[in-house]
Structure 1
Amino acid sequence: MVELPDRVVGDARTSDFGWELLTDLTDIGNRMAGSAGERRGAERVVAAYEDAGLRNAGLVEFEIPGWWRGDAALSVAGPVDRHHDGSHEVIALPGTPAGEVTAPLVDVGDGTYEAFEAAGDALEGAVVMASSNTPESHDRWLHRMEKYVNAAERGAVGFVFRNHIEGSLPPTGEIGYHNRPGPIPAVGVSKEVGERLARLAADANASVDDDGSPDTDDPARPEVTIEVDCRNEPTTSVNAVADVGPDTDEAVLLTAHVDAHDVSDGANDNGAGSALVAEVGRLLSTVADDLDTRVRLVTFGSEEIGLWGAYHTAETTPHDEIACVVNLDGACSSRDLRVGTNGFEGMAATFEAAADGFATPLETGDMISPHGDQWAFVQEGIPAVMASTASDGSGRGWGHTHADTLDKLDPRDLREVATLVAEATYRLATDAADGPTIDRRSREAIRDAIDEGYERELRTGGRWPYDG
């Protein structure tokens, strides 16, 4: 049974409000954390809040460690001599230090922990390359930051992150997080460049030392030079906020992030999420008198470099004033909703009831994930989910590349997701005697429930929040 009035559902199915906002955000271009473009994006979201008749619309500013991109290049010497400096071939990874290194290349494939162990001493003094792919045998996604840190801790002097998606699309993504800048220069390269490097490294690996490890002194082994120009300096970022519904102390937080990597228009990641927050806020404003709990819209800044906007909100809002959090990220690649529930069964039941009401498919997962703005709240035991859309691909697909553009998305998908999220948020913000209970969990309970692999990732990257 659908709880939203028919007129609101009809509005959601025919509205262009969200798509127009998404279009404007992608037209801004560079919305890198701390940039003028990120602020312009947040200001455009605030304007959308105001157009929707929401109250308390405005910006909240906070400090972040900024990063500014310069030129990057990768050269190969040895059996093949090549120089790559085009943005369709090689780009720096945010959080990298500036610098130039030259060293033998060692390829660790998909960059699993097992692959790093098998490479042994060959990584010392080498430039290490890892793919953006995660093997199907793994029950969780392997983050680039893990691969970067594992390379640095094993003595590598440089890191190359190669895309597994074709199309001359070098991937970007933060490697420093809250430990900027990282210890060694790091670049992303396209699949096409990476495939050549992997082939050359594989040919060289045919020669081994007495202990069975690759012979890094073999003259057939390619030598790689990485050149990175960039700046790591403090700056500020902003969250765009507004309210709808009664003026209660407690609020349901509906969130997304407006920042995107500077090489991309950030259409699906995460202009779509920002547009959805504003659109759902607009829809709820038409039934504001029905709501029993305030809905707080927060479009975060600086998600891509360490969830800074989300942490700012989590640290400056009394936790007893947050009923729950619905975070939207990458939610327009299809019209089939996927919700990571982090084990909060009441929120899972709410989304399941919303999907059942519309007889639409819903994919859920209950593993606690540290990826996405909801993590800043989940780690504290605050009920929080991440809503995205289901995809058959591995990894980010077009995300974090210059191909994350508006033409990959469909306004019909945006409307479908807006309808479902509006229905679920409406249910969360209204008191229903027969509705599911949204229970909090203790920090200790969350800590103990985190998958061993994700704990390993968080500790590897210095992000484990439960020590001390």
Structure 2
Amino acid sequence: MFETDAPLHLPEEVVGDAYTSSFGWETLTALVDVGSRMAGQTGERRGAEVVRDAFAEAGLSDPRIESFDVPGWWRGSSSLSVHEPHERHHEGQQDVLALPGSPAGEATGRVVDVGAGTYDDFAAHADALDGAIALASSRTPEESDRWIHRMEKYVSAADHGAAAFVFRNHVDGAVPPTGEVGYHQRPGPIPAVGVSKEVGTRLARYAERGAEATVAVDCRNEPTQSRNVVAEVGPETAEEVLVTAHVDAHDIADGANDNGAGSALVAEVGRLLAHDAVDLDTRVRLVTFGAEEIGLWGAYHTAETSDLDAIRGVINLDGACSSRSLRVGTNGFEALGELFAGVTDDLDAPLSTGDTIAPHGDQWAFVQEGVPAAMVSTTSESSGRGWGHTHADTLDKLDSRDFRAVAIQVAEGVLRLANGVVEPTHRSRAEMRDRIDEGYVQELKQGGRWPYGEDRTQTE
């Protein structure tokens, strides 16, 4: 528990309420009990309604749902059949899952294991990949200077002529991983599936002996609508602070930590800031985005329909309840790191930070435009995504005590940001472009997500 004599801006009665209220945890429970909250589908709409009702119960102003168009994807059945050197057939979701954005289709070919699926790995196997089934691990090598996204591995496979892509989990017992491969270029060019580490390790062993396999994906790609949920708290001011998360989750699990917890935290932070005892100098807008998992569509919708110059800063919550130890990705906006360093120092709480400008998470839609925005998550001992993007991202992995502690830290940070304790500085698009590490430039261009035109050095 935090020290009670910490120099907080939140009044003691609000902190006490946060420690004793069940509101946030009940909101999270209601979200996971929706079941599938896949972008553009019925469950995501129901999840948005849960959040809207929570915003209303929290006393926030004008809770509302905003709809926008997205490219939808519906899962059918998938299978992986090994023909040589031993016959094995996998079709249950515990063994094989289609990756969203995959097209429907079937492909048979030799299996080529490209290891971790780095650019060098694909180059080393270039002569063998034409017409093959590319098998890549979800692991990123320790010597890599950044995380290698599954989409990069998928696009590399297609670019090298592979007929299908198999993405194998690197975590023992964590079942098949899912995750988008098409993003804003749906559907992708070749069928794609995820498999468990156990299935993938066996397939890699067979590949050493000349394996042949068939990948089959049944799915549906068609237009649909997603939804953001919006409300406000505080005075009517020209400037505003955004507190955000995404409500959608992959259809195979509850999406408890990724990202039901983030959406419930947005509602709880809004509730704490709506207390009569809280004095806000700047309006705070609370937004839960739809369609994050398939390309940040909800975040882009908000960024494109907002006065970006009027946004003091964005605090985006994603994967923020695996512990009570905050991690803040500042995207190079030092003031946001200083903000949370002050909060955690005063609360005698742990904090880790990173300043890499990373294009993963809803904050990216604002960061690319030069708006100060941070990704706020929590650290854990899990490898990679942990239980995220698998069947096992369920409520039992989380702890209500962690939820309450994180809610206090975030609410305190938002209050300080809204009241001018720090003043983050906006940057130009050109400056943001030039600050992005070459590795992420490569990823963004590889996936068709580079927002600055063809030439990194062009003037704007």
TM-score (norm 1): 0.94
2:439 corresponding residue in structure 1: 453
Q: Secondary structure of the residue that 1:381 maps to in structure 2?
A: coil
1:221-240 matches, within 5 Å, as 221-240=210-229
1:82 aligns with 2:71: no
Q: Does 1:134 align with 2:134?
A: no
1:44-99 C-alpha deviation (Å, 9 max, x unpaired):
00000000111110100000000000000000011110000001000100000000
Partner of 1:217: none
Preserved contact between residue 382 and residue 441 of structure 1 (Cα < 8 Å): yes
Deviation of residue 394 (structure 1)? Answer: 2.8
Matched, 1:264 2:250: no
Equivalence for 1:114: 120
Contact 1:245–1:288 (CA under 8 A) maintained in structure 2: no
Aligned to 1:465: 451
Q: For the Cα contact (< 8 Å) 1:168–1:192, is it kept in 2?
A: no
Which AA in structure 1 matches 2:416? Answer: R
1:400-446 Cα shifts (integer Å, max 9, x gaps): 00000000000011011001000000001113xxx332111111111
State how far apart, in whole Å, the 1-side matches of 2:18 and 2:198 are: 42
Aligned match of 1:429 in 418, 428, 435?
418
Deviations 1:283-315 (A, max 9, x none): 000057611110000000000000000000000
- Match of 1:193, SS? helix
Listed as ranges, the matches of 1:209-358 within 5 Å are 221-287=210-276, 290-358=279-347
Instruction: Give the aligned CA root-mean-square deviation in angstroms.
Output: 1.0
Deviations 1:259-289 (A, max 9, x none): 0000010000000000000000000000576
- Counterpart of 2:301 in 1: which secondary structure? helix
Partner amino acid, structure 2, of 1:76? V
Contact 1:355-1:361 at 8 Å conserved across structures = yes
CA distance in 2, matches of 1:144, 1:289: 43
Query: Would you say 1:68 and 2:51 are equivalent positions?
Result: no
Aligned AA for 2:125? A
Give yes or no for the alignment of 1:32 onto 2:38. yes
Q: CA deviation at 1:151?
A: 0.4
Q: Contact between 1:246 and 1:289, CA under 8 Å: does it hold in 2? A: no
> Residue 246 of structure 1 contacts residue 288 of structure 1 at CA under 8 Å; is this kept in 2?
no
Q: Does the C-alpha gap of structure 1 residues 22 and 297 become closer, same or farther in structure 2, counting only changes over 3 Å?
A: same
What CA distance in whole angstroms lies between the structure 2 residues aligned with 1:91 and 1:168?
13
CA distance in 2, matches of 1:439, 1:287: 30
Which of the residues 363, 385, 388 maps onto 2:377? 388
Q: Find the counterpart in structure 1 of residue 425 from structure 2.
A: 439
What is the deviation of 1:21?
Answer: 0.6
Q: Which moved more, 1:388-397 or 1:258-267?
A: 388-397
One-letter code of the match for 2:117?
G
Q: Separation in 1 of the partners of 2:148 and 2:13?
A: 44
Confirm or deny: 8 A CA contact 1:108 1:116 kept in the other structure: yes
Is it true that 1:197 corresponds to 2:203 in the alignment? yes
Question: How many Å separate the matches in 2 of 1:189 and 1:353?
Answer: 43
Contact between 2:280 and 2:418, CA under 8 Å: does it hold in 1? yes
In 1, Cα distance between equivalents of 2:383 and 2:437: 20
Match of 1:406 in 2: 395
Task: Give yes or no for contact 2:314–2:372 (8 Å, CA) kept in 1.
Answer: yes
381-390 or 242-251, which deviates more: 242-251
- Matched AA of 1:149: V
Q: Is the 8 A contact 1:74 1:90 kept in 2?
A: yes
Long gaps (5+) in structure 2: 1-6, 455-460
Contact 1:141 1:395 in 2 (8 A): no
Q: Are the equivalent residues in 1 in contact too, given 2:228–2:288 (CA < 8 A)?
A: yes
Cα distance change on mapping 1:308 and 1:288 into 2, 3 Å: farther
| AA at the equivalent of 1:104 | R
CA contact (8 A) 2:97 2:176 kept: yes
Unpaired segments ≥5 residues, structure 1: 205-220
TM-score normalised over the length of structure 2: 0.96
Aligned length, in residue pairs: 448
Q: Deviations over 1:301-351 (max 9, x none)?
A: 000000000000000111122111000000011110000000101111111
